């Protein structure tokens, strides 16, 4: 009797896709959902990128923008759920693009996905470090928050701890992600209750749903038609950045039991629940505003609202809950990026592929974990440069890695969605599918992705515009430079070398031959 007689349904489907079961399939459907829910992390994105919504549109942009953008993101997620059900592999988005669009489509998709995932690791870990710094300052009156060098040290420490957790225990990682779900659920609920019950004053419905703000200095702070076209759209990055990373359910599908259904549900359910919870959390923050002008003067961050509305005890509690949630998120993000790097390297698409696809004795791509962390550190180095916009300290570098993550991930999502749409009814669906709804969902998803990716390239202030007298490199949103530079290099490498040898996903097993022996 050969080993193939013992293939279960998950292993059989994986063999049909060309792979052997190397990773440990120890994750439940709930664990799969948990990692995407943890990476989306309303305790991370809603707090750390709040300033993008406030400064580029104000309360009205956040209150109305979040549910509108979230609805489009759910459509994107449903399209991806159908794809992961048909192709539950660690390569996820890259594998789908290769299968449906060929090796070239897979090559560009894989690199965009990898860039996006590592940028998300960087942004979440740096956001966590920033909130850790603020939290310590709340509990220690002698502590001075906001020192960039110290925040960067915290950032490094967070990445090291997250890497160690990823490297030394896959089981522990699954447990942490399960805990993270409940931390986000109960933590967010506790924060909402505090913001509703404790402040002595709350903003009016008009303040929350109609007040518009332009703190960028662009168009002299005016809020006319040009503002609507070029400033207000940037507020959408708050939602687009927060509700991302749900492709983790696909990257972890080779480690998930019943992956064809579980990973598909993990994607769309994590988006839906995060969208609902995030909107309630943001509304609680907006209604807790005591003086909007003072919030703007303090940089437009969520921390300013908490400090204004609550005493140090209650405020410190909220910051502590949020910071812990952000750490859970950073750990999960590193898991997702390392699995993508593993899968892409397994197919020899990354320089040093053997090193990054090598598994440790615990069946974890430890080298890939470490490389992801190191690159995350390198692209965040500009955060050491102090930046003030209109006299207010502004995290331009953080905004840039946020935008890099959004552009990289969502453009990667668009490629397989496009090819699946083009394939039409010839696409072989999995056990979870959209039926004929893909015909209108796919084009809507693609339009939203293109628009958002363009918006993510916009400068955040006058100083970031090369044609303005106040221009300085420290103000620049370097997303177009990094993403554009990488795409140019990829184009060169493809035509000079890669197209001669890269054929897309490599078959580890000949599935039909293996199955015919049974």
Question: Domain of 189: which CATH number?
Answer: 1.20.1740.10
d(CA 290, CA 329): 30
Q: Residue 447's domain spans which residues? A: 28-502
Q: Given this model, what pLDDT does residue 516 score?
A: 47
Is position 517 within any domain?
no
d(CA 465, CA 484): 17
Is position 256 within any domain?
yes
Is position 461 within any domain?
yes
d(CA 350, CA 344): 7
d(CA 319, CA 383): 21
d(CA 299, CA 318): 19
> Where do we find the tokens 């394939």?
423
* Positions of the chain with pLDDT under 70: 1-6, 24, 26, 91, 170, 390-392, 507-518
d(CA 446, CA 449): 5
How many domains is the chain partitioned into structurally?
Answer: 1
Is position 8 within any domain?
no
Q: Given this model, what pLDDT does residue 79 score?
A: 97
pTM: 0.89
Is position 136 within any domain?
yes
Is position 18 within any domain?
no
Is position 422 within any domain?
yes
Q: Given this model, what pLDDT does residue 2 score?
A: 44
Q: Where are the alpha helices (DSSP H) in 347-437?
A: 353-356, 366-379, 396-423
Is position 331 within any domain?
yes
């Amino acid at each position: 009797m050969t080993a193939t007689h013992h293939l279960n349904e998950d292993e059989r489907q994986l063999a049909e896709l060309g792979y052997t079961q190397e990773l440990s399939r120890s994750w439940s459907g709930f664990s799969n959902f948990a990692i995407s829910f943890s990476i989306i992390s309303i305790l991370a994105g809603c707090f750390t990128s709040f300033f993008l919504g406030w400064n580029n549109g104000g309360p009205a942009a956040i209150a109305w923008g979040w549910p509108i953008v979230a609805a489009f993101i759910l459509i994107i997620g449903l399209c991806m759920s159908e794809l992961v059900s048909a192709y539950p592999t660690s390569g996820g988005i890259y594998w789908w693009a290769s299968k449906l669009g060929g090796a070239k489509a897979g090559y560009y998709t894989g690199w965009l996905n990898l860039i996006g995932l590592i940028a998300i690791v960087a942004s979440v870990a740096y956001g966590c470090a920033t909130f850790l710094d603020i939290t310590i300052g709340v509990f220690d009156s002698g502590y001075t928050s906001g020192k960039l060098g110290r925040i960067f040290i915290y950032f490094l420490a967070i990445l090291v701890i997250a890497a160690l957790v990823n490297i030394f225990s896959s089981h522990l990682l699954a447990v942490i992600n399960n805990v993270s779900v409940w931390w986000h659920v109960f933590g967010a609920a506790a924060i909402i209750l505090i913001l509703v019950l404790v402040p002595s004053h709350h903003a009016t419905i008009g303040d929350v749903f109609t007040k518009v703000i332009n703190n960028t200095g662009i168009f002299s702070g005016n809020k006319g038609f040009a503002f609507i076209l070029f400033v207000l759209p940037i507020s959408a990055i708050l939602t687009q950045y927060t509700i991302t990373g749900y492709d983790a359910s696909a990257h972890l599908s080779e480690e998930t039991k019943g992956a064809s259904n579980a990973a598909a549900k993990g994607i769309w359910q994590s988006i839906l629940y995060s969208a609902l919870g995030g909107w309630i959390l943001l509304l609680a923050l907006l209604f807790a505003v005591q003086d909007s002008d003072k919030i703007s003067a303090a940089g437009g961050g969520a921390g300013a609202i908490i400090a204004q509305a609550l005493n140090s005890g209650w405020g410190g509690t909220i910051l502590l809950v949020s910071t812990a949630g952000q750490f859970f998120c950073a750990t999960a993000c590193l898991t997702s990026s390392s699995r993508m790097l593993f899968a892409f390297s397994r197919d020899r698409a990354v320089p040093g592929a053997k090193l990054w696809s090598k598994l440790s004795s615990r069946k974890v791509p430890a080298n890939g974990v470490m490389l992801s962390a190191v690159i995350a550190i390198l692209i965040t180095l500009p955060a050491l440069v102090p930046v003030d916009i209109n006299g207010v300290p502004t995290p331009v570098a953080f905004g840039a890695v946020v935008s890099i993550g959004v552009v990289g991930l969502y453009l990667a999502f668009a490629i397989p969605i496009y090819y699946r749409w083009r394939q039409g009814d010839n696409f072989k669906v999995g056990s979870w599918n959209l039926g004929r709804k893909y015909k209108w969902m796919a084009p809507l998803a693609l339009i939203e992705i293109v628009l958002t990716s363009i918006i993510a390239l916009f400068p955040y202030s006058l100083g970031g515009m090369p044609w303005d007298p106040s221009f300085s490199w420290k103000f620049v949103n370097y997303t177009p430079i990094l993403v554009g530079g990488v795409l140019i290099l990829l184009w060169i490498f493809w035509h000079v070398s890669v197209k001669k040898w890269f054929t897309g996903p490599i078959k580890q097993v000949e599935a039909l031959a293996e199955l015919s022996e049974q």
